[in-house]
Amino acid sequence: MNRRVRQIVESTLEALRNEGLFEGELPPVTLERPKRPEHGDAATNVALVLAKRAARPPREIAEAIATRLRADASGTIASVDVAGPGFLNVRLDPNAFLGVLANVHAEGEQFGFAPAGSRGRRVNVEFVSANPTGPLHFGHGRGAVLGDCIARLLRATGWDVTTEFYINDRGAQVAALGRTLHYRYLQALGHEAVEPEGDGWYRGEYMVELGQRLAREAGDAHAGKPAGDPFFRDYAKDILLDVIRRDLAALGVQIDVWSSERALTETGLVEETLSALRARGLVAEQDGATMLLTGERFQDKEGRPKNEVLVKSDGELTYFATDIPYHLDKLRRGADLLIDVWGADHHGHVPRLRFALECAGADPTRFEVVLVQMVRAYRDGVEVKVSKRAGQYLTLAEIVDEVGPSAARFFFVLRRHDSQLDFDVSLAKRQDQENPVFYVQYAHARCCSIVRKAREEHQLEVPAYDATLARALEHPIERDVMLRLGELPEVVAAAADARDPHGVGVYLRELAGLLASHYTQTKRTGDTVLPLPSTMASDGWRERWPWDRTRARLMWLDAARQVLANALRLLGVDAPEKMARLDVDETDGSTAPAEG
RNA sequence: GGCCCCGUAGCUCAGGGGAUAGAGCAGCGGUUUCCUAAACCGUUGGCCGCAGGUUCGAUUCCUGCCGGGGCUACCA
């Protein structure tokens, strides 16, 4: 609907340009929903933007535009006001926003999304990419959900999306994993075993279990092998990768491609890339290591120019050395754009990798990184502390199990990705309006419930869109809701563009809020969608009941239901048709968190 | 030291060049307890961390400072 208004404004501007009011390109027409209702249904500041170029007062330009908009014959615009410093406040013709219902009904599950089958540009979204050295921890969940939602958003806006997980199955971390398994395996066999030195091993309980499992499966068949034997590394890695797969699946995260770093090194692509860099004179030996020369681009702590290590003095490749060919490989496989979701603790590597890709001949603008800030978990108002040293951490699986995948996903997406997030586990479990997931899901379930009740108790189906019928929608909230429904495409586009689903969550809460207000308000005043029991208790109520309004509202409510479902699907959150009726079984002693 | 993120109502957070800065919770005042849940309506409450700058216009962009968090490996 805003699209139609925008088109009308744009063609108006074009006409005014032809008349010589201003020159050059059309300014971008931004339409916003005014905060104050008296400012109409849509407002634009184009006149203010144009004022300088046209060398005329903004209000004068606004008047010129307004005059033409008022003459528009498409039946979209009801009135136009010039206000304040030169805003154009547009009031829509009722037909225009009632038409939203027609669009929603026509497009159904596709409403808000790019047309199916549109072949867009190809994007590779890589996320999580945790070391296969243990179950995913709580913090990984945020990156996982963010990456998955970015993928969904891009798909919804016409991109051809591949999601990818890069397995760091080579190098120091998996070597430490192998040593750990060796140690725990010997322990499980009852052999004398020496604890690996320092922090070079994984202290988590899961490794004890893994050692016992190996001992159970193979007896002492592997007891003679040295700690560094690849067997231990691979055995542990394979099992833990399966655990990670399960953790992600439980969260509803879809990974299309699992990419092995080890396999990459075996293709020769790493050597190829190194030689290419060497051929360009960008590589040098320094202190026994092979370095990428970065000129003055990067500095160390003391501010001295710093080169980047590619091959360590012990002959091992750094992750940086394999990251370069890995990203080149993703581009070679046909991606027009690479998006990596990284923890914010890696932010220092973004310019380095981009620089290296550029050195290797790739287009650095095709490489984007979304940095996700850290998450803290709170239970009953106190932070859930973890001990990294003891190998104890809050696992993702634990949280998903506790609050369910829908709540986990919604909570991870509640804040912008570049803000730190406090995840209130107690709140995520609550079954009341305080809990934003419950609130939004309940709005959807309530729509379903009313539609269901209409069918079952009143033999009323949701009517097909009908402009005449739609005119029975007179409640002010109904109008607000229709305006908001029409905004879904813009909300989706903006979220996709920002690589951040957070705006969809905000939108959902606002829409759910409007629907809740409508429900409770009408219930209070008695003009509900369906007749209340008290109404039906009186004689002759059927003749007095405004059935057209009921049918109109069913049409309206069903559109709202559809939009809620579509937006929830974008976040991977369930849109239940019924809320499980909770009986009073709250015996876990959880009390409302006292903030303080 | 350098770099990144954040600072908006008592609390949790939206808004990211435009009009009188919003929501939820908490507080206060009312109404209601019947389409699935204690909700609804109204209302109080803000130097948008501070100071400069850019701009016709800054909460929004830039710089500096203050406060909070994080990163700063020949680990990933």
State which H helix or E strand residue A166 sits in: strand A160-167
| Shared-domain flag, residues A19 and A43 | yes
CA of A507 to C1' of B42 (A): 25
Q: At what angle do helices A547-571 and A94-107 cross, to 10 degrees?
A: 60
| Shared-domain flag, residues A71 and A141 | no
Can you give the CATH number for the domain in which A404 is found? 3.40.50.620
pLDDT at residue A103 in the model? 92
Q: Note the ipTM here.
A: 0.94
Q: At what angle do helices A230-250 and A172-189 cross, to 10 degrees?
A: 100
Per the structure, the count of domains in chain A is 3
pLDDT at residue A588 in the model? 39
Helices (H), A251-371: 261-266, 269-279, 319-332, 349-359
Can you give the CATH number for the domain in which A87 is found? 3.30.1360.70
> Locate tokens 């893994």: which residue?
A210
Q: How far apart are the first and last CA of chain A?
A: 45
CA of A247 to C1' of B37 (A): 33
Residues of chain A with pLDDT under 70: 1, 116-119, 387-389, 581-596
Q: Which of residues 373-432 of A touch strand B (CB under 7 A)?
A: 373-374, 415-416, 418-422, 431-432
| Shared-domain flag, residues A482 and A559 | yes
| Shared-domain flag, residues A255 and A383 | yes
CA of A190 to C1' of B66 (A): 59
Last residue of a domain, one of A92, A109, A143: A92
**Which nucleotide is at minimal CA–C1' distance from A310?**
B74
CA of A324 to C1' of B61 (A): 34
| Shared-domain flag, residues A215 and A85 | no
Q: Which of residues 440-499 of A touch strand B (CB under 7 A)?
A: 442, 445-446, 449-450, 453
Q: Residue A513: CB partners within 8 Å, gap ≥ 6?
A: A439
**Which nucleotide is at minimal CA–C1' distance from A289?**
B74
**Which nucleotide is at minimal CA–C1' distance from A39?**
B19
Is residue A355 a part of any domain in this protein? Answer: no
> Locate tokens 């009011």: which residue?
A21
**Which nucleotide is at minimal CA–C1' distance from A519?**
B35
Q: Which of residues 7-36 of A touch strand B (CB under 7 A)?
A: 34-36
| Shared-domain flag, residues A251 and A151 | yes
Is residue A272 a part of any domain in this protein? Answer: no
CA of A352 to C1' of B71 (A): 15
**Please, what sign has the CA dihedral across residues A389, A392, A393, A396?**
positive
| Shared-domain flag, residues A555 and A458 | yes
Q: Which pair of structure tokens corresponds to residue A388? A: 């990294």
| Shared-domain flag, residues A145 and A214 | yes
pLDDT at residue A117 in the model? 60
Last residue of a domain, one of A385, A401, A424: A424
Q: Which of A53, A35, A49 is nearest to A87 (CA)?
A: A49
User: Taking all residues of chain A, what is their mean pLDDT, rounded to a whole number?
Assistant: 89
Can you give the CATH number for the domain in which A488 is found? 1.10.730.10
**Which nucleotide is at minimal CA–C1' distance from A34?**
B19
The span from the CA of A266 to the CA of A309, in Å, is: 20
CA of A487 to C1' of B48 (A): 27
**Which nucleotide is at minimal CA–C1' distance from A85?**
B19
User: Do you know the residue count of chain A?
Assistant: 596
DSSP for A211-259, written as a single string: HHHHHHHHTTTTTTS-TT-HHHHHHHHHHHHHHHHHHHHHTT---SEEE
CA of A420 to C1' of B9 (A): 21
| Shared-domain flag, residues A403 and A504 | no
Is residue A500 a part of any domain in this protein? Answer: yes
pLDDT at residue A589 in the model? 35
Is residue A416 a part of any domain in this protein? Answer: yes
Is residue A340 a part of any domain in this protein? Answer: no
Chain B: bases < 7 Å from a protein Cβ: 1-6, 11-15, 18-25, 31-32, 34-41, 56, 68-76
| Shared-domain flag, residues A173 and A213 | yes
Q: Which pair of structure tokens corresponds to residue A149? A: 């939602």
CA of A595 to C1' of B11 (A): 7
**Which nucleotide is at minimal CA–C1' distance from A318?**
B74
The span from the CA of A115 to the CA of A497, in Å, is: 17
Q: Which domain holds residue A60?
A: 2-92
Are A76 and A5 a contacting pair, CB within 8 Å?
Answer: yes
| Shared-domain flag, residues A178 and A257 | yes
Is residue A43 a part of any domain in this protein? Answer: yes
Is A433 near strand B, with its CB below 7 A from some atom of it? yes
| Shared-domain flag, residues A257 and A385 | yes
Is A177 near strand B, with its CB below 7 A from some atom of it? no
Is residue A585 a part of any domain in this protein? Answer: no
Q: Which of residues 544-583 of A touch strand B (CB under 7 A)?
A: 578-582
Is A260 near strand B, with its CB below 7 A from some atom of it? no
pLDDT at residue A333 in the model? 96
pLDDT tens string A240-267? 999 999 999 999 999 999 999 999 999 9
Is residue A168 a part of any domain in this protein? Answer: yes
